[in-house]
Chain A
Amino acid sequence: EDKVVQSPLSLVVHEGDTVTLNCSYEVTNFRSLLWYKQEKKAPTFLFMLTSSGIEKKSGRLSSILDKKELFSILNITATQTGDSAIYLCAVGGNTPLVFGKGTRLSVIA
């Protein structure tokens, strides 16, 4: 059975800190790994990774995939209160996207 595990489940940091969110997976016929940010209701797309070792960056956010070790990390540098959200990791394999339970990030001023 395909499985996606995110850690930690929740995290509280101060503004300006750097955070690393983890996502490990076991899926058959891996195709892609996606990160989403969910602030209120609608998850919004952040990154899609398909190749190992290639970092995707968008401003203060970056992500990298390790297909050998079956995990990905999402880094957020110089965190701001607006980064407070649930971060979801999803993996595409033989089945439709399988989501992890998410990491709830709280950034306090």
Chain B
Amino acid sequence: KAGVTQTPRYLIKTRGQQVTLSCSPISGHRSVSWYQQTPGQGLQFLFEYFSETQRNKGNFPGRFSGRQFSNSRSEMNVSTLELGDSALYLCASSLYPMGRSNLNEKLFFGSGTQLSVL
């Protein structure tokens, strides 16, 4: 069974540009969550999608957005990039939405997209 796949693995952009990151969950998983990881802040929750609907959103500005397709694949977009957006963006999938029960907390992570903003 293939794991969570994220593309691209690395990305270099300049300030003001926009970027789209992609995530394919484990087959059969319908919930996709996105996290931003930086050395100073650790993993911070961006948003969660289940059945094409955003269920939860973290405390990030509106420049960060996402969506989920009918095949459960998800994309996140960051517009008007800032230097502080440089980070590892991790996607994780699970069978059900987070918070339904203890059993659903087990997230399976992809290898991430390392974004550098110059």
Using a CB–CB cutoff of 8 Å, the interface residues on chain A facing chain B are 31-32, 34, 36, 40-45, 48, 50, 88, 90, 92, 94-102
Partner of B99 from the list A44, A92, A101 (CB cut-off 8 Å) is: A92
Q: A97-B45, A99-B42, A99-B43 are in contact. Are A92 and B111 (CB under 8 A)?
A: no
Cα–Cα, bound, A49→B98 (Å): 16
Residue from B4, B105, B108, B112 in contact with A32 in the complex, judged by beta carbons closer than 8 Å: B105
Pairwise interchain contact A96-B45, C-beta atoms closer than 8 A: yes
Choose one: B35, B42, B58, B112; the contact of A101 (CB below 8 Å): B42
Inter-chain contacts of B101 with A (CB < 8 A): 31
Report whether B111 and A40 are in contact in the complex, using a CB–CB cutoff of 8 Å.
yes
- B40 CB, min distance to chain A CBs, angstroms: 8
Complex contacts, B48 vs chain A, CB 8 Å:
96
**Using Cβ atoms and an 8 Å threshold, which residues of chain A touch B102?**
31-32, 48, 50, 92
Give chain A residues whose Cβ lies under 8 Å from the Cβ of B63.
Answer: none
Interface size, chain B (Cβ < 8 Å) = 27
Residue of A nearest to B3 (CB): A42
Does the CB pair A96–B112 fall under 8 Å?
no
Given contacts A94-B99, A98-B45, A99-B44, 5 further A-B contacts (CB under 8 A): A31-B101, A41-B114, A42-B109, A48-B105, A99-B35
Determine if B109 and A44 form an interchain contact, defined as CB atoms under 8 angstroms apart. Answer: yes
- Within 8 Å by CB of A41, from B33, B42, B112, lies B112
- Are B105 and A102 touching (Cβ within 8 A)? no
Complex CA gap A38/B41 in Å reads 15
Contact present for A42 and B105 (CB under 8 Å)? no
Q: Which residue of A lies closest to B43 (CB)?
A: A99
Q: Are B112 and A97 in contact (CB under 8 A)?
A: no
Q: How far is the CB of A40 from chain B (nearest CB, A)?
A: 7
For residue B83, CB closer than 8 A to chain A, the reply is no
Q: Which residue of A lies closest to B45 (CB)?
A: A96
